[in-house]
Amino acid sequence: MADFILPQNTSPTRQASRRLDGPIHAERHVNIVCVGAGASGLLLAYKLQRHFKNYSLTVFEKNPAVSGTWYENKYPGCACDVPSHNYTWSFEPKLDWSGVYASSREIYKYFDDFARKYRLFDYVKTSHQVTGAYWDDATQGYDITVNDLTTGQEIRTHCDILINAGGVLNNWRWPAIPGLDKYKGTLLHTANWDDSVNLEGKHVGLIGNGSSGIQVLPKIQPIVKQVTTFIREPTWVSPVQGLEQHVYSDEEKRDFATKAGQLTEYRKGIERGLNGQFGIFLKNSKPNNDTHDYMIEQMKEKLQDSFLEDKLIPKWHVGCRRLTPGVGYLESLGKENVSVIYGEINEVTEKGCLCDDGKEYPVDVLICATGFDTTFKPRFPLIGPDKRNLQDVWKDEARSYLGLAAPGFPNYLIFLGPNCPIGNGPVLSAIEAQADHMLKLIDRYQTHNIASFTPRQEAVDDFISHKDDFMTRSVWADPCRSWYKNRPDGPITALWPGSTLHYIEAMNELRMEDWEVKYSGNRFAWLGNGYSQTELDDTADWAYYIREVDDDEPATRGGKRRKLTKSGTVRATAGVNFTGRSSEEAEKPLRSNI
Ligand code: NAP
C-alpha cells in the first residue's frame, strides 16, 4: 500500500494544516532545483529518485551535455590522476576502464552513461544557465531566473530547496596579466580548449605549472616546434610509482566482469591506499618528511640541471600545493625544444610575453594553464532573506557550515563548498557522503513540517575557528601560492580539516542543534491524525517488534561504526595499497594523487 503523502502545489502553511488529515511523518511535496549536472548534480538526481517520493527536481546545466568538468576539460593529455576504478561511485563500478588512469573523454562517458542508465536526463535541462536566486519569505523558497541558452529567453521558476552542484574547479579564468587582450596569436585556456587549433610545428607559450600545465607539456612537446613555458613558483612534482599507467588487457577486463569479488577487492585495495595517505599533509609527520627527501632525490634525478633544481624545488612542505604525478613533465623541461622562463610576466604584447627579465618572448599560440576562480562565490546572485548577496558575503573569505551550507541563506545546500575534502583523499566518496547528508536534511524537511532551515551563525563560527586551528598543523598553511587559499598567508578555504574518512564520519549524522529551523505552523503538526504510517499499510507487519532474539542494530556511534567498517576483519599492515607496497611501507614516501 502507498504511503500517505501530502498533496503537491499547496503552500507550506496549507500543507501544515492538512497534516491533521494524515498519519505521523506524512511527506509534504518538495520542489528542488539543482544547479549543474556534473558528477554531484547527477548523483543527487540518482539518490532522490531512488529514495524519495512526492518531490520534483529540475537540474539546470549550462553546457549542452552532462558531466561538468569532464565535458569541459579536453586539453591534450587531460586525464584524471586518480586510478579509474576508484574514480567511480562506490556502488557503480565500471568493468571495462581502458587503463589505470583514464582520459577526460572516458570519464565524461562514465558519467553520461550513468545518467542514461538511470534515466537522469528526465530531470536535466541542458543549455540552461541559472542567472539568479532570490529568497521569497511568503513561500519560504527561492525564485529562480534561468537563461535558456538555445533560445536566449529568460525562464522564471521557483523551488523550496536550492542545491548548488556547480563545482569548484569550474569557473576558469584568464591570468590577470595586462595586455592579454592585445595578443594577436592564438590564445587558449586549458579548461576551455579549442580542438580545432593545430599545434603542430608551432612555437607555443605555456603559462603555469599546476596540474593542468604539468599534464599538457609532455603531450605537446613532441609535436610542436618549440615550447616556452612561463613559471613563477616552484612546485613539487611527484613521481609515478607503484600503480603506474597500465592498459587493462581483455583478459583482465573479463576477470573483472566474471570473477566474483575480484574487482571489488582491487578497488578496495586502491581505496585503502588513497585513504592511508592523509598523514602526508601533516607538518613534520614521518610520511611528510620521508616523502620530502624522496621527492627531492627524484626531482633532481629527472631535472639534471642546477638552474631548474634551484627554481623548481620548493622550500615549503610537500603537499602545500596540490601534488600531481608528473608523467614525463620534468623530463620534458630538459628537452631541446623546451625553454623555461622563470619569473613574472609583466605584460602580454601583440607577439607574446614580456617578462620581468626585460625580454619579450614571441609565441604563435599562448596556452594559459592558469586555473580557476576558487573563491566559492556562487556564479549567480544568491539573495537571502535580508537581501544580502552571497557573492558579496563570500567575497573575501568563504565561511561555510561543514562545506555544505551558508549562514543567512536558508534552504540552500552546496556540493563541494568551502572546506570540503576536495584534496584530502578520494573525492567521489566525499560527494556521496555529502549527498547522503543532504538527503537526511530533505527527509526531515519533508516529514517534520519544516519551512526553512539555515545553519546557525555561531555553529559556523565555531567550525571555522576549529578549522583554522587545525590548519596550523597542516602543510597547506605554508607560504605557497595555491588555490586552496586566496593568498599565501590567507585562511585555507578549499580543504577539510581532516581526512576523507574523517569527513565521511562527520557527515554521518545530522546535528539539528546547528540549524535554525522554522516550522510551518505548529512544530508538532507532523504528529498528524494519531495514526502511524504502519496502520495505514495493510501489507505491513503491525507487530514488527515482536521477535525471537535481540537483533537490534548497535545503539552507539562506535558500535555502528565498528559494524559498518567490519572492524577486526582487516589486518592494518596487510592492506593492499595502490602503490603495490605493504601499508607499512606506504607510510614511507609516496606520491599523492588526490
Ligand atoms: P592551478 O593549480 O591553479 O595552477 C595555475 C597555474 O597558473 C599556476 O602555476 C599559477 O602560478 C599560474 N598562473 C596563474 N596566474 C598567473 C599569472 N598571472 N602569471 C603567471 N602564472 C600564473 O590550476 P590547474 O593547473 O588548472 O589545476 C587546478 C586544479 O584542477 C588542480 O589542482 C586539480 O585539483 C584539478 N586538476 C586535476 C587534474 C587531475 O588529473 N585530477 C588535472 C588538472 C587539474 P602560481 O602558482 O605562481 O600562482
* Residue whose entry in the numeric block shows the C-alpha cell 544580502: 388
Query: Nearest residue CA, atom 14 of ligand 1?
Result: 370
Give the pLDDT of residue 395.
Answer: 94
Helix (H, G, I), strand (E, B) or coil at 523: coil
481 pLDDT more than 80: yes
pTM for the whole thing? 0.92
Q: pLDDT over 70 for what percent of the chain?
A: 93
Looking at residue 13, its pLDDT comes to 63
Residue 580 has pLDDT above 50, yes or no: no
Q: How far is CA 3 from the centre of its chain?
A: 35
Nearest to 581, CA basis, from 357, 272, 345: 272
Ligand 1 centre from 222 Cα, in Å? 22
pLDDT tens column, 314-326: 999 999 999 877 7
Query: What are 71-91's pLDDT values in tens digits?
Result: 999 889 899 988 999 999 999
**Averaged pLDDT, 209-231:** 95
What is the set of domains in the chain, with CATH numbers? 30-170+374-517 (3.50.50.60), 180-368 (3.50.50.60)
Residue of the CA atom closest to atom 18 of ligand 1:
175
Of all protein residues, the one whose alpha carbon is nearest to atom 2 of ligand 1 is 210
pLDDT tens digit sequence for 286-322:
999 999 999 999 999 998 899 999 999 999 999 999 9
Contact status, residue 287 vs residue 295, Cβ threshold 8 Å: no
- Confirm if 267 and 86 have CB atoms less than 8 A apart: yes
Q: Is the pLDDT of residue 590 over 70?
A: no
Report whether pLDDT(578) > 50.
no
N-terminal to C-terminal alpha carbon distance within the chain: 47
Of the segments 15-19, 23-27, 146-150, which one has the largest average pLDDT value? 146-150
pLDDT score of 574: 41
Predicted confidence band of residue 62 (pLDDT cuts 50, 70, 90): very high
Over 90: is that where the pLDDT of 425 sits?
A: no
Mean per-residue pLDDT, 513-525: 95
Backbone angles phi, psi at 223, to 5 degrees: -105, -20
Model confidence at 572: pLDDT above 80: no
Q: Is the pLDDT of residue 41 over 90?
A: yes
Task: Indicate if the pLDDT at residue 55 is higher than 60.
Answer: yes
- 11 pLDDT band (50/70/90 cuts)? low
pLDDT of residue 239: 75
Q: What's the mean pLDDT in 241-269?
A: 90
Question: What is the rounded CA–CA span in Å between residue 436 and residue 441?
Answer: 9
591 vs 95: which has the higher pLDDT: 95
What distance in Å separates the CA atoms of residue 94 and residue 87, rounded to the nearest whole number?
A: 10
Q: What is the mean pLDDT of residues 48-77?
A: 95
Q: Cβ distance 442 to 31 under 8 Å?
A: no
The pLDDT, as a whole number, for residue 495 is 97
Cβ of residue 483 lying under 6 Å from some atom of ligand 1:
yes
- Ligand 1 centroid, distance to 82 Cα (angstroms): 17
- The answer to whether the CB of 74 is under 6 A from ligand 1 is no
pLDDT at residue number 16:
63
Q: Which of 105, 104, 177, 237 is nearest to 366 (CA)?
A: 177
- Whether ligand 1 lies within 6 angstroms of the CB of 87 is answered as no
pLDDT tier at 241, thresholds 50, 70, 90 = low
pLDDT average, residue stretch 403-428: 95
Average pLDDT value for residue range 390-397: 96
Nearest residue (CA) to ligand 1, atom 31: 211
Mutate to test the pocket of ligand 1, among 212, 214, 321 (most ligand atoms within 8 A of CB): 212
Q: Percent helix, strand, coil in the chain (nearest 5)?
A: 35, 20, 50
Task: Look at residue 343 and tell me whether its pLDDT is greater than 80.
Answer: yes
Atom of ligand 1 lying closest to residue 191 CA: 26
Ligand 1 touching residue 370 (CB < 6 A): yes
* Three cell numbers, residue 485: 587559499
The alpha carbon of 90 is separated from its chain's Cα centroid by a whole number of angstroms, namely 15
